[in-house]
Structure 1
Amino acid sequence: MTRLARVLLAAALALILGVVGGAPAHAGNQKEEALALSVRLALANAIKDARPPQPVFRDEAARQRYQRWLGEMSERLRRKLPDQQSRTEFLETAWYEATRAGLDPSLVLGLIQVESAYRKYAVSMVGARGYMQVMPFWAKVIGDSDRRKLFHMQTNLRYGCAILRMYIDMEAGSLYLALGRYNGSRGRPEYPNAVLAAWKKWELAPLASG
């Protein structure tokens, strides 16, 4: 097969995946950057622990808020993830990995909506993989070089959350710039604005006043 034929085939497959999976994803085209050794080690340690998510709550109010978040997000995700067990496992993991990285879980859900439209096996034109569209080079930079693991739910979410946390720290807390860096479009408004708008849609609804 010629190179042109391969390119055309890849474009056709991407179009098909976009149609089948709903809204097209904004591929997470993170750039491979020269990272300080301390940052590289911190990221490697952040994605190393593969134990199942075990939420810990500081008090009963926090536990109840988590249960309400889980129930409400499950209803909202029902159409995209019809299987209840898979949906619950996904949300438990998303909450755990987001919280572990110091991120709002609803922000992570908004980012996933924009990046992959909740397609576990989504692959972008630039090769980004999975729910959070993690670029394969990260598996070599901070992992064990096994790119296939980026399609594993918890691994993908852990990589994505750890990388976004790193970018927020690099940008001195600016979520707008960090989101642009996550997408490889730092300084342009389209991607950060899309994620921030999606985040609002996934925020927990306020309790009705008595």
Structure 2
Amino acid sequence: MQALITALIYLSLALPVLAQPADEAEREELRSFLEATISDADSFEDRYDAEVWLVDMSARLERFIEDPKHRLELLQDIHSAASRADLPPELVLSVIEVESHFDRFAISRVGAQGMMQVMPFWKDEIGRPDDNLTVNKTNFAYGCRILQFYLQRENGHLHRALARYNGSVGRRVYSDKVYRAWRDRWRTKPLNWKD
């Protein structure tokens, strides 16, 4: 048993920490960005566009979430957070599928929480220690802003930004999974996945 505990501790120390920059200046820049951008807003400007998108995505989401009302509420929250962060909501859906399979109570082996697998230390970093990362709106606000930050930092390069989000810089295993989820399930219009 002690050997197993030691192995788990070693493994957790060896794993990259999700969305935690190694560079202290980058970490401070992301902390400031999160602090300034987490807020609420409505994302749909046109009712018809909202209905079309929600009906389409609800049918796609049914394999993960059975209850239609829950699906629509979830999709509205995802669309809202993605829109505030200038992200395609379909990209965010792809990230969520890979990160948690739409399980709001998911916790990774390194402690990341919620559907977008956000590290809890960010709450203290931005002075919001009472935020609950298993509350979808909160989780999406953090996750979308973190992804937005990395997309800006990587000049829109999706694979590199996703690798930073996942803490796997220099590798494409994670970003390729997100790409496949987007391509196979969430795509509505092209995204620039080129290297």
TM-score > 0.5 by shorter chain: yes
Change (3 A) 1:80 1:68: same
Change (3 A) 1:71 1:56: closer
1:55 matched to 2:43? The reply is yes
Corresponding residue pairs, total: 181
Change (3 A) 1:28 1:77: farther
Question: In 1, Cα distance between the equivalents of 2:101 and 2:91?
Answer: 14
Match for 2:43: what amino acid? P
* Residue 196 (structure 1) aligns with: 179
1:65 deviates by: 2.7
TM-score (norm: length of structure 1): 0.76
* Residue 84 (structure 2) aligns with: 100
Structure 1 unpaired stretches of 5+:
11-26, 206-210
Match for 1:172: what amino acid? N
1:43 matched to 2:34? The reply is yes
TM-score (norm: length of structure 2): 0.81
Output the aligned Cα RMSD: 2.7
Match for 2:153: what amino acid? M
Please state whether the residue corresponding to 2:110 is helix, strand or coil: coil
1:150 matched to 2:133? The reply is yes
Please state whether the residue corresponding to 1:40 is helix, strand or coil: helix
1:6 deviates by: 5.6
Aligned with 2:157 (options 161, 174, 179): 174
Aligned with 1:131 (options 94, 106, 115): 115
Question: In 2, Cα distance between the equivalents of 1:28 and 1:106?
Answer: 25
Aligned with 1:82 (options 49, 52, 66): 66
Identity level (%): 39
1:46 deviates by: 1.2
1:91 matched to 2:89? The reply is no
1:189 deviates by: 1.2
1:172 deviates by: 2.0
Structure 2 unpaired stretches of 5+:
10-15, 190-195
1:8 deviates by: 8.6
Q: In 2, are the aligned partners of 1:32 and 1:137 still within 8 Å (CA)?
A: no
1:31 deviates by: 2.2
